[in-house]
Structure 1
Amino acid sequence: MQTYDAIIIGGGPAGAACALSLMLFHDKKVLLLERGDFTQPRIGEQVSHSIFDFLEYLDIPREAFGAGCFTPNYGKESYWGSDVETHHFSLFTAQGKTYQLDRARFDETLLMTISERGGTIIPRCKQISMAQQEGCWQVQCVHPEQGTLHYQSEYLIDASGRQTKIGQLLGIERVVTDQLVGIGAFVEHPERVFEQQQKIESCEYGWWYMAGLSKDLAVVTCFTDMDIMKEKQLNHQEVWNQCLAKTTAIGGSLQGCISTQPKLWVKQANSQYYASDFPEKFVAVGDAVASFDPISSMGIGFAMLSGCHGAYALMHEQKTAVRDYQQDAILTFDEYCETKWDFYKKEQRWPNHPFWQRRLIKPSKQQHRVSA
Structure 2
Amino acid sequence: MPGWVSMIDCWQKRAGSARNNAMNLPPSNCAGSDVLRTRVAVIGNGPAGIAAACVLAQAGVDTLLIGQSPGNSLKAGESLPGAALRLLRRLGINTIQTLLTPDAVLGCTANASAWGEENWTRQEAIFNPEGGGWHLLRHHFDAMLLEHARAQGVQILTGACRILAPHGCGHRLQVATIRNHTDADITLQADFLIDATGRKAWLARRLGGPPVKLSRQLAVVGWMNGLTHDQDNSTRLKSVADGWWYSARLPQGLRVAAFHGLPRAVVALSRYPEAFRAACNASGVLPFSLPEKQCPLKLRTCDASVTISSQLGGENWLAVGDAALSFDPLSSQGIYFALYSGIRGAEAALDCLHSSALAADALTRYRSMVLQVFESNQRTRRLFYTRELRYRDHAYWQAQRQ
TM-score, normalization by structure 2: 0.81
Shift of 1:297: 1.0
1:174 to 205, 211, 214: 211
Shift of 1:302: 0.8
- Is the alpha carbon distance of 1:128 and 1:40 closer, same or farther for their aligned partners in structure 2, counting shifts above 3 Å? farther
- Of stretches 131-140 and 33-42 in structure 1, the one that deviates more from structure 2 is 33-42
Match of residue 18 from structure 1: 52
1:127: how far off? 5.3
Find the aligned partners of 1:29 and 1:352 in 2 and give their Cα distance: 55
- 1:54 is aligned, of 52, 77, 87, to 87
Counterpart contact for 1:16–1:114, Cα < 8 Å: yes
- Residues 6 and 31, structure 1, Cα contact 8 Å, conserved in 2: yes
Please give the per-residue CA displacement for 1:347-372, whole angstroms capped at 9, x wherever unaligned.
Answer: 111111111012234xxxxxxxxxxx
Deviations 1:177-220 (A, max 9, x none): 01211112110046243562432111111011111112520111
Uncovered stretches (5+) of structure 2, i.e. residues with no partner: 1-34
Task: Name which of 231, 245, 248 aligns with 1:211.
Answer: 248
Counterpart of 1:345 in structure 2 is: 386
Q: Deviations over 1:44-79 (max 9, x none)?
A: 222222222112212223242144255331112212
SS in 2 for 1:337: helix
Bigger mean CA deviation after superposition, 149-158 or 104-113: 104-113
Q: For residue 199 of structure 1, what is the aligned residue in structure 2?
A: 236
Matched, 1:242 2:278: yes
Cα distance in 1 between the residues matched to 2:289 and 2:390: 23
On the 8 A contact 1:183/1:235 being kept in 2, the answer is yes
1:117-158 Cα deviation digits (max 9, x unpaired): 3222233x2453322211121111222434222111111110
SS across alignment from 1:199:
strand
**2:300 is the alignment partner of 1:300:** no
Q: Deviation above 4 Å: which 4+ runs of structure 1?
A: 93-96
Note the alpha carbon deviations across 1:254-298, whole angstroms, 9 max, x for none.
33424223xx21111111111336231101111111110111011
Q: Is the 8 A contact 1:345 1:360 kept in 2?
A: yes
Q: How far does residue 38 in structure 1 lie from its aligned partner after superposition?
A: 3.0
**Equivalent in the alignment of 1:360:** 401
Distance in 1 separating the partners of 2:227 and 2:212: 44
Consecutive unaligned residues in structure 1, runs of 5 or more: 362-372
Among 221, 226, 238, the residue aligned to 2:263: 226
Whole-Å Cα distance in 2 between the matches of residues 190 and 350 of structure 1?
32
Contact 2:222 2:256 in 1 (8 A): yes
Matches of 2:234 and 2:284, distance apart in 1: 16
The size of the alignment, in residue pairs, is 353
Q: Residues 195-253 of structure 1: CA distance to partner in whole angstroms, max 9, x if unpaired?
A: 624321111110111111125201111111224435xx222214333322311243844
Are 1:286 and 2:309 an aligned pair? no
In structure 2, the residue corresponding to 1:234 is in which secondary structure? helix
Q: How many Å apart are 1:18 and its aligned residue? A: 0.3
- Identify if the C-alpha distance between structure 1 residues 190 and 277 changes in structure 2 by more than 3 Å, giving closer, same or farther: closer
Instruction: Answer whether contact 1:172 1:278 (CA < 8 A) is retained.
Output: no
Separation of aligned partners in 2, 1:223 and 1:202: 9
Residue 30 of structure 2 is matched in structure 1 by none
8 Å Cα contact 2:208/2:312 also seen in 1: no
CA–CA separation in structure 2 for the residues paired with 1:5 and 1:89: 46
- Please tell me the residue identity of whatever aligns with 1:135: C
The one of 186, 190, 193 aligned to 1:149: 186
Helix, strand or coil for the counterpart of 2:71?
Answer: coil
Whether 1:270 aligns to 2:305 is: yes
8 Å CA contact 1:198, 1:210 repeated in 2: yes
| Contact 2:136/2:251 (<8 A) preserved | no
Q: What is the root-mean-square deviation of aligned Cα atoms in Å?
A: 2.3
CA gap 1:37/1:305 in 2 versus in 1, 3 angstroms: closer
Paired residues of 2:52 and 2:343 also in contact (CA < 8 A): yes
The amino acid across from 2:169 in the alignment is G
**Secondary structure of the corresponding residue to residue 246 of structure 1:** helix
- Equivalent residue number for residue 40 of structure 1: 73
